[in-house]
Each structure stands twice: as C-alpha cells, then as structure tokens.
Structure 1
Amino acid sequence: MKLSSRKMTKEFAIDVLTWYYDPPYDLYNNVVTDEAICELLNEGYTAVVDGREELIGFYCSGQAAQVPAIKESVAYSKPAVDVGVGLHPKLTGQGYGTVFLSFILNELEGLNPDSTFRLTVAKFNKRAIRLYENIGFKMECEFKTENNEFFTMVKW
C-alpha cells in the first residue's frame, strides 16, 4: 500500500469525524461540530492517503496526541514526542496497521531524529496494543480517567 501525507483540509476533517467504529472501539467515534473541525485543522493533524488519494487515516503529534484530562499527570512527565493515530474503520483489523504506523513513525523520525515516541492507547484495545508492541513500543505507564483506562507506550 503506497501512502502519502497531506495537509488536513476541511473535507478530510469532516470525513474523519463521520467515521463509525463498532463497539468496543466506539470510544473513537466523533461528532461533526465546528469545534471538532477546527481542532483537526489547527492542532497539527495530518491526513494520510493511499495511492488513489483516498483518505485512509490521520495522525497528530504533541499535545494533540495526549488525553486532555491527564496532561499534567505522570503519564506525560518524561520528554517524548506524543503520537496519535486513526485508521479508517473499514481498514482496521485487516493487517494494514503495521504499514500505516510505520509510515507515520518514519515521517515523524525525519522531523524528530533520535526522539522517544509515545502513544496513548485505551487499555481494552488489545488489537492496537499488539500492533504497537510488534513495532517496538513498550508499556510505560497506566492511568485512568473518569470513564476509561489507558496505557502509555514508548519506543526509543
């Protein structure tokens, strides 16, 4: 699968916000609002397209990739480049994750050489945790919010 990054546009943002994930992954569902569109356009999100220029996912880095309610906790106290990713629901669970995440990490490594990368993942998301471990991420921290439990995972 040939992947390329593109500037997040309003059209891409609306597309991402309409993606529907079946339970238990519905934690990742969104609602199209002006505020949500603005976040995707202004918080460092990047669209990922395939060889046909179809949107297949997105990524962000920095604070946009952190769980907002926990930003001040020990989970994010060590220096690292936080990475957030989203793959189109029609492509999840089909073996595309390794190519998708490797593409994103290669792009970010070019911008942040010799950095530690950190992902935050919902504790129930065994499929994503397995992918991250296979790419070399290790568990670092566990934390809870009012509604969910998460892990941070790091890769040096």
Structure 2
Amino acid sequence: MENAVIADITPEDAVEVIHWKYEVPYDFYNIRAQAEAMQEFLMNPYYTVRCEGKLVGIFCIGTSAQVPEGRATGMYVERFIDIGLGMAPKQTGQRRGREFFQRIITFLKETYPNTGVRLSVATFNQRAIKLYESIGFHRVASFPAADADFIIMTHPTLLAVDETN
C-alpha cells in the first residue's frame, strides 16, 4: 500500500462511506444518521486512502477523531494529533490493516512533524487493538461512552514534543 494515495474526502466518497456495512460486532461502526455523517465528513478534516483507484479506507484528525464522552471528561488535554480511521468492509480481515495504518502514520508524520499521535478505540475491537499494539501503540487511558468503552492509545516514538525545552 506504499502507492496508496491520500486525498481530502469528496462528496462522492462520503456517500460511499455512509453505505458501508460491517458485520457483527463491527456493525457498531455502521452509520445510522446519514445526513449528520455527510455534514461531518465534508465540514471536518477527513481523508480517503485509495489503492489502485479503489477506496480502501478513510481517516480523520483532530476533534473529529475524539470520542465526545472522552473529551467531556478531559481525556484529550495533552497535545497530540488525534486520528480516527476505518477500512472499507470489503478490505477488512485480509491482513491489509497494517499497511493501511502505516500509510496513514507516514502521512501524519510528514504533514505534522514533531506532533504526537493518539487514537481512541472501542475495547471490543480486539482486532484493531492488536494491530495498534503490534505497531508500538500503548494503552494510556480508558473511559466509558454511551455505546461502548474506549481505550486511548499513543505511540512511544511519536509522543508530543515538550514545549518547555
């Protein structure tokens, strides 16, 4: 996925993503409020990842990647670039997640140098947690939310720079 292309999400991409359907237990990620999702995708920093012209997945950065309940309880006070990501349902389970995620990390390191990377993941999503840990992300906090419990993870070599130095 080295040759994967990252670009801003388009309205056409957003429509495709809104119609993605995941199987249980990942159906948690199925979009139910389509109008709100469309607005979220187009009004915030969302990106697509394409490989050979096919939409492989999306990711977002900043507050769009934060879980509202975590934000409300002060889980995101440290300065990091928060990321949220999702692969197209047809792409999951094919051992492409590592390449997909590493392509996003490379993009973030190039675009936001010297900024730490943090993500939030639902605790039931053991497949994603295993992937993130294999790349070097560590669990730093957890919190309950309305629909699931979440873990916050950061990468030790991508930690935020101490601005006091």
Q: How high is the TM-score relative to the length of structure 1?
A: 0.94
Contact 1:14 1:32 in 2 (8 A): no
Q: Which amino acid aligns with 1:22?
A: E
Contact 1:56 1:87 in 2 (8 A): yes
Larger mean CA deviation between 85-94 and 28-37 belongs to 28-37
Task: Report the CA distance shift for 1:55/1:80 in structure 2 as closer, same or farther (over 3 A).
Answer: same
Separation of aligned partners in 1, 2:74 and 2:33: 32
In the alignment, which residue of structure 2 is the partner of 1:116? 116
Say how many residue pairs are matched.
Answer: 155
In the alignment, which residue of structure 2 is the partner of 1:17? 18
Q: Please show how residues 1-156 of structure 1 align to structure 2 within 5 Å.
A: 1=1, 2-31=3-32, 33-51=34-52, 53-155=53-155, 156=158
Q: Following TM superposition, by how much is the alpha carbon of 1:31 offset from its aligned partner in structure 2, in angstroms?
A: 3.2
- Which sections of structure 2, spanning at least 5 residues, go unmatched? 159-165
Separation of aligned partners in 2, 1:69 and 1:123: 15
Alignment identity in percent?
Answer: 37
Cα deviations by residue, 1:45-93 (Å, 9 ceiling, x for unpaired): 0111112x11110111100000123213232122111001010111112
Cα deviations by residue, 1:108-134 (Å, 9 ceiling, x for unpaired): 111111221001000011100010011
Q: Which amino acid aligns with 1:57?
A: G
Q: What root-mean-square deviation, in Å, do the aligned CA atoms of Structure 1 and Structure 2 show?
A: 1.2
Separation of aligned partners in 1, 2:129 and 2:35: 32
Q: How high is the TM-score relative to the length of structure 2?
A: 0.89
In the alignment, which residue of structure 1 is the partner of 2:163? none
Q: Which amino acid aligns with 1:6?
A: A
Q: Which amino acid aligns with 1:81?
A: I
Secondary structure, aligned partner of 1:13: helix
- List structure 1 segments (4+ residues) > 4 angstroms apart after TM superposition: none
- Which sections of structure 1, spanning at least 5 residues, go unmatched? none
Separation of aligned partners in 1, 2:75 and 2:94: 30
Q: Following TM superposition, by how much is the alpha carbon of 1:13 offset from its aligned partner in structure 2, in angstroms?
A: 0.1
Q: Which amino acid aligns with 2:122?
A: A
